[in-house]
Chain A
Amino acid sequence: MAKFKTSGSKDLARHDADFLIGLYRDMLLTRVTDDRIEALYKQGKLVAGCYSSRGQEGCSIGSTAALRPGDVIGPMIRNLGSLLRHGLPVTMVLRNYLGRATAPTKGRDGTSHFGSLDHGIIGPISMLGALIPVCAGAALAFRMRGEPRVAMTWIGDGGSNVGDFHEGLNFAGVLRLPFVLVLENNKYAYSTPIEYQTAAKDFACRAQGYGIEGDAVDGNDVLAVYQVVKEAVDRARAGGGPTLIEADTMRMRGHAIHDDAKYVPRGLFELWEKRDPILLFRDRLRKAGLLDKARDEAIVAEVRARVDEATEDALAQPLPDPAGETGEVYA
Chain B
Amino acid sequence: MSEITYIQAITEAMREEMRRDPSVFCIGEDIGTYGGAFRATAGFLEEFGRPRILDTPLSESAILGASIGAALMGLRPVAEMQFADFVTNGFNMLVNFAAKLHYRWGAKVPMVVRLPSGGGTRGGPFHATNPEAWFTRVPGLKVVCPATVHDAKGLLAAAIRDDNPVLFFEHKYLYRRLKDESPGEGHVVPLGKARLARAGSQVSLVTYGSMAYHGTIVAEEMAREGVDVEVLDLRSLVPLDEEAILATVRKTHRVVICHEDTKTGGFGGEIAARIAELAFDQLDAPVLRVAAKDTPVPHAPQLEDAFLPQPRDIRSALLRVIGV
Contacts and interface: CB of A to CB of B under 8 A. Distances in A.
Interface of A: 72, 104-105, 108-109, 113-117, 122-123, 125-127, 130, 132-144, 151, 163-164, 167-168, 170-171, 174-175, 327-331
Contacts of A167: 57, 59, 61-62, 65
Contacts of B74: 141
B97 A130 contact: yes
A175 B69 CA distance: 15
A133 B69 contact: yes
A132 B62 CA distance: 8
Interface string B76-108: 010000000000000011001100111111111
**Which are the 8 A-B pairs with shortest beta-carbon distances?**
A137-B69, A133-B65, A137-B66, A141-B73, A167-B62, A331-B163, A171-B62, A138-B69
* Most chain B C-beta atoms within 10 Å of own C-beta, residue among A132, A137, A171, A175: A137
Contacts of A329: 102-103, 139-140
A328 B92 CA distance: 21
A165 B271 CA distance: 40
A176 to B, nearest CB: 11
A136 B105 contact: no
B68 interface: yes
B108 A116 contact: no
B88 to A, nearest CB: 12
A164 B72 contact: no
B96 A170 contact: no
13 contacts: A104-B106, A109-B100, A115-B107, A126-B96, A130-B65, A134-B68, A139-B69, A144-B51, A168-B62, A170-B59, A171-B59, A329-B102, A330-B142
A163 B66 contact: no
B70 A140 contact: yes
Nearest to B64: A133
Contact of A134 (B66, B100, B108): B66
Contacts of B105: 104-105, 109, 114-116, 123
Contacts, number: 133
Interface string B11-54: 00000000000000100000000000000000000000001101
A10 B205 CA distance: 79
A331 B164 contact: yes
B62 A170 contact: yes
B260 to A, nearest CB: 26
B74 to A, nearest CB: 7
Given A171-B56, A329-B102, A138 B73 contact: yes
B62 A133 contact: yes
A182 to B, nearest CB: 17
A58 B96 CA distance: 30
Contact of B69 (A104, A113, A134, A170): A134
* Most chain A C-beta atoms within 10 Å of own C-beta, residue among B52, B61, B101, B108: B61
B295 to A, nearest CB: 28
Given A115-B72, A116-B105, 18 more contacts: A113-B104, A115-B101, A126-B96, A127-B92, A130-B92, A130-B93, A130-B96, A136-B69, A137-B69, A137-B70, A137-B71, A140-B70, A144-B75, A167-B65, A170-B57, A170-B59, A327-B139, A330-B140
B210 interface: no
A164 B63 CA distance: 11
B104 A109 contact: yes
Interface string B278-308: 0000000000000000000000000000000
A37 to B, nearest CB: 19
B130 interface: no
Contacts of B207: none
A126 B97 CA distance: 9
Nearest to B73: A141
Contacts of A117: 72, 107
A142 B74 CA distance: 10
Contacts of B102: 328-331
Contacts of B252: none
B67 interface: yes
Contacts of B104: 105, 108-109, 113-114, 123
Given A130-B65, A328-B102, A140 B51 contact: yes
Contacts of B93: 130, 133-134
Given A114-B105, A331-B164, A138 B70 contact: yes
Given A140-B69, A331-B102, A174 B96 contact: no
B56 to A, nearest CB: 7
